[in-house]
Amino acid sequence: MVFKGQAEYSVDSKGRVAIPAKMRNAMSPEAQGTFTITRGFEDCIFLYPMDRWSSIEEEIGELNMYNREARDFIRIIMMWADEVSLDGQGRISIPKPLLEFAGLGGSALILGAFDHIE
């Protein structure tokens, strides 16, 4: 699974945004249209298919909890993490705190970023 390309979509009043068809089609069947959405870097939101998120959790579990930078990273990634699923129109609902973090209003630029969507 590789996500690539970009598209600009509107964000509706309920915080829903469509995921481009080519990105939906790039998902593995194991993900079943479900993502973990979390805070990313540089005011971005990261969207990981569930099968990829499982391996991210394993990698996070291997970090040294006695290292302050590792703990800070874990806190940022995990406290913002939530599960979202595609609806019948190929949209996800972005939680309000993440909408505010990313400064999303009327539109969102959706980017393929290899193993995740930003």
Q: Give per-residue pLDDT as tens, 1-25.
A: 899 999 999 999 999 999 999 999 9
Whether this model's pTM surpasses 0.85: yes
pLDDT in tens, 49-60: 999 999 999 999
pLDDT in tens, 72-107: 999 999 999 999 999 999 999 999 999 999 999 899
Q: What crossing angle do the helices spanning 50-61 and 68-79 adopt, rounded to 10°?
A: 160
Q: Quick one: which H or E segment has residue 91? A: strand 91-93
Q: Which CATH superfamily is domain 6-111 in?
A: Transcriptional regulator MraZ domain (3.40.1550.20)
